[in-house]
Chains A and B, each alone.
Chain A
């Protein structure tokens, strides 16, 4: 098996890529809500002070201001913690960005349970669910540094409402050199015929590590990075299911309304009787801990994913 290399935090890559893009295009404006430190855009603010707007701790206003800047011809990135951005400002996202069709890129930083012990106020386990119901909004959750960087490059000329979700822990490099990235097209991290393990964002590396454990036991898992939650790459999922007819979804999100339920809807409506398990955060008062500990606790460690895969295959 090839050697595993670990890159930087996706948020670091976001900050670096945004700075590169900002230098190339003075029309690119970043809006923050006292969040440039968390968002890794302090260097952006220092090098391009005329291209950053600071609104203070006022997320509703941040989204509205982003919408106005976009209406004024700017390429706009609104950067704020995913927890606040997608809950407190939900109405602004719905009305001022999506419904009003303003080409704003909203960047939810420290998403999922990235803030670990800071607790539920700071977690975003709802964002896929609520944002998926809003028309005219694309949702992307990059898995590794490659996807984290590529999505920002695409966002500059995307010209439609876009939400991107970033975590803050270093990520394993999942893509080979020369890989392609396209918003709306899933990335196949490794091919296999026995079981499909689909993840999005920071859970994809766990799916990938599980596939390596399974490989040692002679099970060939196909790992999919469904980085775009909406529009969902139905073809990639169905193509894989046709081969494996066995699926585990892994997400750093509530088990309600996210990746797993999206897969369930597609599979059941297509008439498949696929063996299927949804892994995510259950509907309970969430246990406190670091991101890694919490994901492990809820059966999303690579070992547990591989165990669940085997028992699913044996059903």
Chain B
């Protein structure tokens, strides 16, 4: 059942706490990117995907491919909350012989595809979307791409195929946080004008605030935006979103919080959570 936006906003705060906790405890992780996309994952898993531990083994369901695999801590956090595994299992993150590693693998319940190398997920999603069309099924294929990832040429190869096969069941979401490991995306290798690029590749583009729960719900409810045309949601986000001193800081791409930083971030998030009590 669809959750209301207050419920989801509270969830996002809780998820942020967990993301920071597992990164802090395991001593590694992609803090900035996980915090920028956690609202997207929250809305997808709680309101749209209908992917559950019960139906995961079936093929006739919606699919989610996380192409920006490095933001796996957000994915683990949300999957844990959906009941795919326990918190105890998640706490083995980055331990020797744990399946919970720094990029998604199918060894972890709820994960669809092994990602980590960038520029791969969209082609796989396109293949899944074509299979759904051939099977005459009405499920949707969602994939989350990073904005730095859009420099990979294979992304645009996949866009061509999505257009050719009229994949209106394909929902591409770009986590447009505008930063990558070296600096600003527009300094490293400019990807703008992004809307026009996707438009010229035959997509319908919707640009939203990707850290705004209502805007995410509204955009995802509108899918497919138009018959026979693939969908892209450019989710403008803030890298490190939700924690004041992590937001928009290049250094937090994969920085692990110190004890003091972890406690400070928790205080910030807990004070916001109080408004939902």
Q: Please, which residues of chain B bring their CB within 8 A of the CB of A72?
A: 59, 127-128, 130-132, 134-135
Q: Which residue of B lies closest to A66 (CB)?
A: B127
Q: Please, which residues of chain B bring their CB within 8 A of the CB of A69?
A: 127-128, 130-131
Q: Is the CB of B127 within 8 A of A73?
A: no
Q: A residues 58-89 with Cβ under 8 Å of B?
A: 58, 60-61, 63-74
Q: Please, which residues of chain B bring their CB within 8 A of the CB of A312?
A: none
Q: Mark A91-108, 1 if CB is under 8 A from B, else 0.
A: 110011001110000000
Q: Is the CB of B131 within 8 A of A55?
A: no
Q: How far is the CA of A95 from the CA of B160 in the complex (A)?
A: 22
Q: Please, which residues of chain B bring their CB within 8 A of the CB of A50?
A: 134
Tell me what chain B mostly uses at the interface: helix, strand, loop, or mixed: helix
A162 part of interface (Cβ distance < 8 Å):
no
Best-surrounded residue of B106, B114, B123, B130 (most CB of chain A within 10 A): B123
Q: Which residue of A lies closest to B159 (CB)?
A: A61
Q: Is the CB of B124 within 8 A of A55?
A: no
B243 part of interface (Cβ distance < 8 Å):
no
Q: How far is the CA of A99 from the CA of B104 in the complex (A)?
A: 11
A231 part of interface (Cβ distance < 8 Å):
no
| B interface residues, tally (CB under 8 Å) | 32
A53 part of interface (Cβ distance < 8 Å):
yes
Q: Which residue of B lies closest to A70 (CB)?
A: B127
Q: Which residue of A lies closest to B155 (CB)?
A: A61
Q: Please, which residues of chain A bring their CB within 8 A of the CB of B125?
A: 68
B183 part of interface (Cβ distance < 8 Å):
no
Q: Is the CB of A64 within 8 A of B124?
A: yes
Q: Please, which residues of chain A bring their CB within 8 A of the CB of B154?
A: 58, 60-61, 64, 92
Q: Is the CB of A58 within 8 A of B160?
A: yes
Q: Which residue of B lies closest to A100 (CB)?
A: B114
Q: How far is the CB of B68 from chain A (nearest CB, A)?
A: 14
Q: Please, which residues of chain A bring their CB within 8 A of the CB of B105?
A: 99
Q: How far is the CA of A96 from the CA of B119 in the complex (A)?
A: 11
Interchain CB contact (< 8 A) of B106 among A53, A68, A74, A101 = A101
B129 part of interface (Cβ distance < 8 Å):
yes
Best-surrounded residue of B116, B135, B153, B157 (most CB of chain A within 10 A): B157
Q: Is the CB of A73 within 8 A of B59?
A: yes
Q: B residues 117-165 with Cβ under 8 Å of A?
A: 117, 119-120, 122-132, 134-135, 153-154, 157-158, 160-161, 165
Q: Please, which residues of chain A bring their CB within 8 A of the CB of B157?
A: 55-56, 58, 60-61
Q: How far is the CA of A74 from the CA of B127 in the complex (A)?
A: 10
Q: Is the CB of A74 within 8 A of B134?
A: yes
B254 part of interface (Cβ distance < 8 Å):
no
Q: Please, which residues of chain A bring their CB within 8 A of the CB of B117?
A: 91, 95
B112 part of interface (Cβ distance < 8 Å):
yes
Q: How far is the CA of A74 from the CA of B154 in the complex (A)?
A: 22
A71-B160 contact, Cβ under 8 Å, with A95-B114, A100-B106, A101-B106: no
Q: How far is the CA of A140 from the CA of B41 in the complex (A)?
A: 41
Q: Please, which residues of chain A bring their CB within 8 A of the CB of B113?
A: 67, 71, 96, 100
Q: How far is the CB of B164 from chain A (nearest CB, A)?
A: 8
Q: How far is the CB of B104 from chain A (nearest CB, A)?
A: 10
Q: Is the CB of A61 within 8 A of B59?
A: no
Given A64-B122, A72-B132, 19 further pairs, Cβ under 8 A: A55-B157, A55-B160, A60-B157, A61-B126, A64-B126, A65-B126, A65-B127, A67-B113, A68-B124, A68-B126, A70-B127, A72-B128, A72-B131, A72-B135, A73-B59, A73-B131, A73-B135, A95-B117, A101-B106
A-B contact pairs, 30 of them (CB 8 A): A53-B130, A56-B157, A56-B161, A60-B119, A60-B123, A60-B154, A61-B154, A61-B161, A64-B120, A64-B122, A64-B123, A64-B124, A64-B126, A64-B127, A65-B127, A65-B130, A66-B127, A67-B124, A68-B126, A68-B129, A69-B131, A71-B112, A71-B128, A72-B127, A73-B59, A74-B131, A96-B120, A96-B124, A99-B114, A101-B106
